[in-house]
Amino acid sequence: MAQHLQDFSIGNAPSDYECGMLFQYVFDKTTEAIYKMIMDEEIDTQFIPKEIYEGYAPDLPEYIQLKITKVVSKIAIISSSILQYLDKNKLRTLDMNVWLSAYLMISVTLAVQFAQEIDPYDDSEMQDYLNGLDQ
């Protein structure tokens, strides 16, 4: 994905905002793939970068999507912290294939751990949300 983005960028590294959107997208899609693996479903997940800008939703039950929604702000903070570290240490260069691959692997690692820790059968958060009890 990093190579694809580098090939199609016009000499510009993605902005912090674009990086954050990409980080979340990779997190969502990886969570989707791991969930399907855990549930012994066909893993038909595809990473299509243009989806980031067109809008997408992971192919997951709504109660699992809600679990992801609840951690979006934490994922954004992690993404931002990594970008700050890269900038502080002058590691974010125009050679996106180097730094962006490592950056996105962090998102993948977080998603794998997240997907393994959620209870795929627990829809109590969704029930609380629907009943207005998620205050």
Q: What's the rounded Cα separation, in Å, for the pair 2 and 7?
A: 9
Match 């692997």 to its residue by tokens: 105
Radius of gyration from C-alpha coordinates of the chain: 16
Q: Using the Cα atoms of residue 52, residue 14, residue 96 and residue 108 in order, give the sign of their dihedral.
A: negative
Q: What's the rounded Cα separation, in Å, for the pair 38 and 44?
A: 14
Of residues 97 and 80, more confidently modeled: 80
Domain range summary for the chain, segments of one domain joined by +? 2-7+14-130
Whole-prediction pTM = 0.88
Q: What pLDDT is stored for residue 11 in this prediction?
A: 56
Q: What pLDDT is stored for residue 1 in this prediction?
A: 67
> 94 burial class (0-12, 13-18, 19+ CB within 10 angstroms)?
exposed
Of residues 98 and 4, more confidently modeled: 98
Q: What pLDDT is stored for residue 50 in this prediction?
A: 83
What tens digit of pLDDT does each residue of 31-84 get?
Answer: 999 999 999 999 999 998 888 888 898 999 999 999 999 999 999 999 999 999
pLDDT over threshold 90, residue 10: no
> What percent of the chain clears pLDDT 90, i.e. is strictly above it?
59
Q: What pLDDT is stored for residue 7 in this prediction?
A: 58
